[in-house]
Amino acid sequence: MSKQFETIDQRLRECRKNINVPLHRVAKHTGISVSFLSDLERGRTMPSLKTLASLATFYGYTLSELLEDVIVE
Protein backbone atom coordinates (compact mmCIF):
# COMPACT_ATOMS: atom_id res chain seq x y z
CA MET A 1 0.00 0.00 0.00
CA SER A 2 1.01 3.54 -0.57
CA LYS A 3 2.26 5.53 2.43
CA GLN A 4 0.87 8.82 1.17
CA PHE A 5 -2.71 9.92 1.66
CA GLU A 6 -5.14 9.11 -1.13
CA THR A 7 -8.87 8.93 -1.73
CA ILE A 8 -10.83 5.67 -1.70
CA ASP A 9 -11.29 5.74 -5.47
CA GLN A 10 -7.53 6.06 -5.95
CA ARG A 11 -6.88 3.24 -3.46
CA LEU A 12 -9.34 0.88 -5.13
CA ARG A 13 -7.88 1.56 -8.57
CA GLU A 14 -4.35 1.10 -7.21
CA CYS A 15 -5.24 -2.25 -5.60
CA ARG A 16 -6.74 -3.57 -8.81
CA LYS A 17 -3.89 -2.33 -11.00
CA ASN A 18 -1.29 -3.80 -8.61
CA ILE A 19 -2.60 -7.29 -9.30
CA ASN A 20 -3.33 -6.54 -12.96
CA VAL A 21 -6.97 -7.66 -12.88
CA PRO A 22 -9.68 -6.26 -15.17
CA LEU A 23 -12.92 -4.93 -13.69
CA HIS A 24 -14.95 -7.83 -15.06
CA ARG A 25 -12.90 -10.33 -13.03
CA VAL A 26 -13.34 -8.29 -9.83
CA ALA A 27 -17.07 -8.18 -10.58
CA LYS A 28 -17.24 -11.93 -11.13
CA HIS A 29 -15.53 -12.75 -7.83
CA THR A 30 -17.21 -10.12 -5.64
CA GLY A 31 -20.72 -9.96 -7.10
CA ILE A 32 -20.36 -6.20 -7.59
CA SER A 33 -21.35 -4.96 -11.05
CA VAL A 34 -18.71 -3.69 -13.46
CA SER A 35 -20.53 -0.38 -13.80
CA PHE A 36 -20.60 0.13 -10.01
CA LEU A 37 -16.91 -0.80 -9.72
CA SER A 38 -16.12 1.69 -12.46
CA ASP A 39 -18.10 4.39 -10.65
CA LEU A 40 -16.21 3.60 -7.43
CA GLU A 41 -12.83 3.89 -9.13
CA ARG A 42 -13.83 7.19 -10.72
CA GLY A 43 -15.06 8.66 -7.45
CA ARG A 44 -18.64 8.96 -8.69
CA THR A 45 -20.07 7.03 -5.75
CA MET A 46 -19.04 6.01 -2.25
CA PRO A 47 -18.93 2.33 -1.30
CA SER A 48 -20.65 0.81 1.70
CA LEU A 49 -18.56 -0.96 4.33
CA LYS A 50 -19.91 -4.27 3.02
CA THR A 51 -18.67 -3.43 -0.49
CA LEU A 52 -15.30 -2.32 0.87
CA ALA A 53 -15.00 -5.53 2.89
CA SER A 54 -15.69 -7.63 -0.23
CA LEU A 55 -13.12 -5.71 -2.23
CA ALA A 56 -10.53 -5.85 0.56
CA THR A 57 -10.90 -9.62 0.75
CA PHE A 58 -10.57 -9.97 -3.02
CA TYR A 59 -7.45 -7.80 -3.07
CA GLY A 60 -5.93 -9.70 -0.13
CA TYR A 61 -6.23 -7.00 2.53
CA THR A 62 -8.15 -6.51 5.73
CA LEU A 63 -10.64 -3.66 5.74
CA SER A 64 -8.38 -1.61 8.01
CA GLU A 65 -5.40 -2.16 5.68
CA LEU A 66 -7.47 -1.09 2.70
CA LEU A 67 -8.55 2.11 4.44
CA GLU A 68 -5.14 2.96 5.94
CA ASP A 69 -4.08 6.51 4.97
CA VAL A 70 -7.28 7.06 2.96
CA ILE A 71 -8.76 10.54 3.19
CA VAL A 72 -12.44 11.38 2.83
CA GLU A 73 -13.22 14.42 0.76
Is 40 contained in some domain?
yes
Is 23 contained in some domain?
yes
Structure confidence at residue 73 as a pLDDT band (50, 70, 90): low
Is the pLDDT at 3 greater than 90, yes or no? no
Number of structural domains (the chain) is 1
Exposed, middle or buried: residue 52 (CB in 10 Å: 0-12, 13-18, 19+)? Answer: buried
Q: What is the pLDDT of residue 1?
A: 58
Q: What is the pLDDT of residue 13?
A: 96
Per-residue model confidence as pLDDT tens digits over 13-71? 999 999 999 999 999 999 999 999 999 999 999 999 999 999 999 999 999 999 999 98
Is 70 contained in some domain?
no
| CATH value at residue 31 | 1.10.260.40
pTM assigned to the model: 0.89
Is 45 contained in some domain?
yes
For 71, the enclosing helix (H) or strand (E) is strand 70-71
Is 14 contained in some domain?
yes
Percentages (nearest 5) of helix, strand, coil residues in the chain? 60, 5, 35
Is 1 contained in some domain?
no
Quick check: 3 and 49 in contact, CB under 8 A?
no
Helices and strands (H, E) in the chain, number of each type: 5, 2
Domain enclosing residue 14, as ranges: 8-64
